[in-house]
Structure 1
Amino acid sequence: MSSEPWGRVDEAGTVYVRTADGEQVVGSWQAGSPEEALAYFERKYDGLVVEIELLERRVQTTDLSAKDATAAIEHIRHQVDEHHVVGDLAALKKRLDKLTSDVEARREERRAAKAVQTDEARRAKEALVTEAEELAASEQWRAAGERLRALVDTWKGLPRLDRRTDDELWHRFSHARSAFSKRRKAHFASLDAQRETARQTKEKLVAEAESLSDSTDWGPTAARYRDLMSEWKAAGRAQREAEDDLWNRFRGAQDVFFQARSQVFAERDAEQQENLTHKEELVVEAEKLLPISDLKSARAAFRSVNERWEAIGHVPRDARARIEGRLHAVERALQDAEETEWRRSNPEARARAQGLTGQLQDAVDKLRGQIDAARAAGNNAKADKLAKELEGRQALLDQALKGLEEFGG
C-alpha cells in the first residue's frame, strides 16, 4: 500500500483522497505501481489548480461575463466534487468560493455601472427629444435640418433603454422630426408657388420691356422702365434658373433703349453746346447796342439779332436762363426807350400833364394865400393845418412837373 498526505492506494489498487469528511474514492489503478497511481491523480489535481488560476486571471483582467465565469466555476467545482483528483480539495473549494464571490461582486459592479449608464442614456435621450421638439418649430430650415440629422446620429450611438421607455422617447423624437419635415415641405411648396407666380409676372414684365426697347419716345419710355423696375422688385424672386434668364433679358432690353437714348442725347448735347456758343455771340452783339442812343437803328439791329437767335435752336438746360436773361435785358432796355419816346411824342398826354400841372400850381398858390391870411388873423392852428395840406399838394406838383419834363417842357 502507498500513501501521501492527500491520498493513498490500497492493496486492491483503489485510490483514495483525504477530505474533511473522510476518505473519498478517486478511482482504480491497475496499470502500474501505487506511486504512479498517486502521481497521476496528483497531476490531475495540478491541472485543476492551473484551470482555477487561469479563470482567476480572466475574471480580474478581462471582460469575461459573469454568466461565463459562473459556468466555468461550476465546471471546475463539479470536477472537485467528483473526487477524481488527489490533493487539497478544500483549498480548491475555498478558491472557487472566493472566485464565486469575486464574480458576484463584479456582477454587482456591472449592474450598478449599467444602471448609471442607463440613467445617463435616458437623460441624454430626453435631452435629444427636448431639443428635437424645440427644433420642430424652427424656421431656420437648413441649420435645423442639419442639427436634427446630427441628433439622429447621436441617438444611434446611445445604449438602448428598457423597451417601453425607449419606444416612448423615440416616438416623441420621431414625431418632432416628422413635424419639422412637414413644416419645411409646406414652406418650400409655398415658396415654389410664390416663385412660379413671380416667374409668370416677370415674364410679362420682360415682354413689355423688350417691346419698349426700340422706342424713341424717350421721356415716357424711361419713366415706364422705372415703373417696370419697381414692379420687378415687388414681384419677388422666381426659381434660380428662370430668375437669371429673365433678369438678363429684362436688363438687356433696358440697355438697348438707354444706350440708344444716351447716343441721341449725346448728339443733342453737342448740338446744344454749339447753339450756346452762337447765342453767346449774338448776346454780345445785342449788348453792344446799350446804352441806346439811336432808337430806330437799335430796334432794327435787335430785330436782326432776334431773328438769328430764333433760328439757332435750343441750348443746354442749365445755361438757358442765363443766356436768355442777358438778351431779355437788352429787349427791356429797348422797350423802356420806346415807351419814353412814345410819351415824349404824344400830344394828348402832354396836354393832360400840362393841365394837371396848372391845376396843382393853382391849388398850391391858393393854399399859400390862405396860410398867410390865417397867420395874419392870429389863427395859427388853422395855418398849421393848411401847411400840412400844402406839403402834400407841393409833392404832387413836383411829381407832375417832373413828368412834364419828360415831354420836353
Structure 2
Amino acid sequence: MMDSQENALLQGAQEEQNVEQTAVEQTAAADVQQVENTKVYKTKQEVVDRLKEIVASDEAPVKEEIDLLKTVFYKLHIAEREARLKEYINGGGNPEAYQVLPDETEETFKAQMAVIREKRAQIMQQQEAEKQANLEKKLEIIEKIKAMATSPDEAGKSFGEFKELQQQWKDIKNVPADKANELWRNYQLYVEQFYDLLKLNSEAREYDFKKNLELKTKLCEAAEKLADEEDVISAFHQLQELHQQYREIGPVAKELREEVWARFKAASTVINKRHQQHFEDLRAKEEENLARKTALCEKVEELCKTDNKGAADWEKHSKEIIDIQNEWKTIGFAPQKMNVKIFERFRAACDDFFGRKAEYFKTLKATFSENIEKKKALVEKAQALADSTDWKATSDKLIALQKEWKTIGMVPKKLGDQLWQDFLGACNKFFEARNAAGAGQRNEEHANLEKKQGIIEQLKALAENAAEATREKVQALTEEYNKVGHVPYKEKDKLYEAYHEVLDRIYKELNISTKRRRLNDFKANIKNVAKRGEEALDNERGRLVRRFDQLKQEIQTYENNLGFLNASSKKGNSLIDEMNRKVQHLRDDLELVRQKIKAIDEENK
C-alpha cells in the first residue's frame, strides 16, 4: 500500500496533468496572438509565400499559424473583390452584369493549403503511431518493474536492470493523452514499491536518495526562479519541462518526499496563477476592445443616418469618420469569435457612408457643370451691356441679371470666385459710368426740388390766407410749378402728395372741383407739351383717345352687370349702390378725358 507521501506525489502528478490539459487551449491562443503581433501580411502574395515556405520545410505546420494565414488571405481577398466591384459601379457599370474573374493567387493558395493539410494528416498519423508504440514500450517497462517489485529476494540483484529501465522510460517520449495519467500512476506505483522492497545496503540506498534530492532541489529552485520571468507564456512552457524532469527522477528519502513535493508544487502554483491571470487579463482586454469597437461602429452608423445638406456636411462627417478609423487602428484585438464580425460591421458602415458620398459628389459635379455654364452666360451678357449708355433700360437688364445670378446654385469655389469677379466687374463698369453721367442731372434735380418746395410753401401761405387766394395767383404758381423739371426719384411721391394736398385745400376754398382743377392743370401743361412739338401733342391725344375708349368699355361692362343684378340678384341694394357709384366715377373720368381731348384740339388750331 502507498503511504501518505506517495499519495501526495500522485495527487501532485494528477494536478500537473490537469494544468497541462487546461493550458493547451490557452497556449494555442497565445501562439495565435503572438503570430498576429509579430507578423503582419499586407498582400495575398505574402501569405502564399509563407505557405510555400511551410510546405518546403521539414517542420510540422502549426495549426494556429495556418488558421491565421487562411483568415488573413480571405480578408484581403474579399477586400480586393469588393474594391473591384465598387470601382466597376463608380465607373457606370451595371451591378447585375458584374462577373467575378478567376484569381490565380487564390488557386495557388488553395493548392498550397491542400498540400499542408495532407502533410499535417501524415504527421498526425505518424505521431499517433509513434505514441502508440511508445505506449507499448512503457507498458513493457512497467511489467518488468512490477515483476521486480513483487520479488523481494531478487530486488537487490536487479537494481542495475531497474536503473536501465528507468533510463529507457525517460528516453521514451509522447504517448496517447488519454493513457498518460494512468500510465504514469502505474509506473510511479511500482517504482515506489521497488524502492520500498529494495534490499540494498544502507549506503547505496542513501546515496541514491541523496542524488535524487539534489536533482529535485535544483528543479525546485529553477521553478522558483520562473516567478521572475517576464514572459508568462515562456515561464509556463519551461515549468512543463521541469515537471517532466521531476517525474523522471527517482524518489528521495521517505521523510522528505512530501516536503520536496510541496516546495515544487508551491513554485508551480505561482507560475500557474500568473499564467491563468495573463489569459484572464487578455480576455478582459479583448472584451474592453470589443466594447470600444462597438461604440465606434455605432458612431459611424449614426453619422450614416445624418442628413448631409451639402458638400460642407459631407466633408465634415468624412473627417469625423476618418478620425474614428484612426482610433480603430489603435485598439487591439476583440475576442476571436467576434473579431471578424465586428470588423465587418465597421467596414460595412464606412463603405455605406463613403459610397453615398461618392454618389453625391458625382451628382454634384454634374450640377456644378450646369451652374458654371449658366454663370458664364450671365457674365457674357453683363460684359455685352457694360459699355451701354442707355442708362434706364440697361440698368433694368443688369438688375434682372443680378437677380438671376442669385437663383443659380453653387460652383467650385476657385472658379466661382473668378466668375463672380468677372460678372461684378462688368456691372460695376456700367453703373460707375451711369453714375458719372448722372452726377450733373442729380444736381439739377436737387435744385428743382428746392424750387418746387418753395412754390409749395407759397401755396400753403395762400391756403392760410383765403382772402388773398385768387384763381389767378394759384394758376400762376401751378404754371410755375409745372415748368420746373424733374426732382430726385425718392422725393417725387412725397413732393406730389404735399403739392396736391395744398392745392386741394385751396380749390376747396375757391369752390373749384377737383376734376376742374385737374383739367386746368392739364390745359396749363399742354403749353409745355406743345413746346416739344406737334408730334408730342399727337402722342398725348392718341393716349387720351385710347383711355376714352377704355373707359367707355368699362362703363358698358358695369352697366351690363347692373342689369344682371337687377334681373336676378338677391344680394341687396348695397352692392348695386356701390356699382352705381363706380359707374358715375367712370363717367366723370370719361368727361374729363373728353375735355382734355378738346383742349388739345383747340391748341392745334
Q: In the aligned structure 1, how far is the partner of 2:353 from the partner of 2:199?
A: 76
Cα shift at 1:280? 8.0
How far apart are residue 212 of structure 1 and its match? 1.4
Aligned positions of 1:210-225 closer than 5 A: 210-225=383-398
Shift of 1:179: 1.0
* 1:231 CA drift (Å): 1.2
Indicate yes or no: 2:406 matched with 1:237: no
The CA distance in 2 between the partners of 1:147 and 1:284, in whole Å, is 72
- Residues 1:161 and 2:161 are matched in the alignment: no
TM-score under structure 2 normalisation?
0.40
Task: Identify which of 83, 103, 116 aligns with 2:271.
Answer: 103
Q: Deviation of residue 110 (structure 1)?
A: 3.3
Corresponding position of 1:390: none
Q: CA deviation at 1:235?
A: 0.5
* Runs of 5+ consecutive residues of structure 2 not aligned to the other structure: 1-159, 164-191, 201-206, 513-605
Q: Is 2:173 the partner of 1:173?
A: no
Q: Which residue of 2 aligns with 1:67?
A: 236
Aligned in 2, Cα 1:217/1:93: closer, same or farther, shift over 3 Å?
same
For residues 348-403 of structure 1, give each alpha carbon's deviation from its aligned partner in whole angstroms, at most 9, with x where no partner exists: xxxxxxxxxxxxxxxxxxxxxxxxxxxxxxxxxxxxxxxxxxxxxxxxxxxxxxxx
Flag the structure with higher helix content: 2
Q: CA deviation at 1:137?
A: 3.0
Alignment of 1:281-292 (within 5 A): none
Q: Larger strand proportion, structure 1 or 2? A: 1
Partners of 2:270 and 2:414 in 1: how far apart?
72
Q: Which runs of 5+ in 1 are unaligned?
A: 1-13, 26-37, 337-409
- What's the secondary structure of 1:136's corresponding residue? helix
Work out the CA distance in 1 between the residues paired with 2:217 and 2:280.
32
CA displacement at 1:185 relative to structure 2: 0.7
Given that 2:303 and 2:317 are in contact with CA atoms closer than 8 Å, whether structure 1 keeps it comes out as yes
Q: Is the 8 A contact 2:226 2:271 kept in 1?
A: no
Task: Indicate the percent of aligned positions where both proteins have the same amino acid.
Answer: 21
Alignment partners' CA distance in 2, 1:131 and 1:278? 74
Displacement of 1:213 in angstroms is 1.6
Query: In the TM superposition, what is the alpha-carbon distance from 1:292 to its structure 2 partner?
Result: 9.8
- For residues 184 and 285 of structure 1, the distance between their equivalents in structure 2, rounded to whole angstroms, comes to 74
Superposed, which structure 2 residues align to 1:4-403 within 5 Å?
A: 21=195, 49=217, 52-53=220-221, 55-59=223-227, 62-65=230-233, 67-74=236-243, 77=246, 80-81=249-250, 91-138=259-306, 139=308, 140-156=313-329, 157-162=331-336, 164-275=337-448, 313-316=485-488, 318=491, 321=496
Note the C-alpha offset of 1:208.
0.9
Letter in 2 for 1:77: Y
Number of equivalenced pairs: 297
The answer (yes or no) to whether the contact 1:272–1:314 under 8 Å persists in 2 is: yes
C-alpha contact (below 8 Å) 1:73/1:100 kept by paired residues? no
- Give distance in 1, aligned partners of 2:392 and 2:370: 30
Shift of 1:271: 2.2
Deviations 1:24-62 (A, max 9, x none): 99xxxxxxxxxxxx8xx9899768746633532432674
RMSD value, Cα: 4.9
Task: Judge conservation of contact 1:273–1:316 (CA < 8 Å) in 2.
Answer: yes
Structure 2 residue aligned with 1:378: none
Pair member with larger Rg: 1
Q: Which amino acid aligns with 1:228?
A: L
Amino acid at match of 1:94: A
Give, in angstroms, the shift of residue 206 of structure 1: 1.0
Give the SS at the match of 1:215: coil
Question: Residues 224 and 176 of structure 1: is their aligned pair in 2 closer, same or farther, counting only changes over 3 Å?
Answer: same
Match of 2:324, as an amino acid?
L
Partner Cα distance (1:56, 1:95) in 2: 9
8 Å contact from structure 2 (residues 376, 419) kept in 1: yes
Aligned to 2:178: none
| Further displaced range: 123-132 or 238-247 | 123-132
- In the alignment, the residues of structure 2 paired with residue 96 and residue 24 of structure 1 have an alpha-carbon distance, to the nearest angstrom, of 29
CA distance in 2, matches of 1:285, 1:130: 82
Amino acid at match of 1:170: F
Tell me the residue number matched to 1:346: none
Structure 2 Cα separation of the partners of residues 99 and 218 of structure 1: 105
Q: CA–CA distance in 2 between the matches of 1:46 and 1:55? A: 14
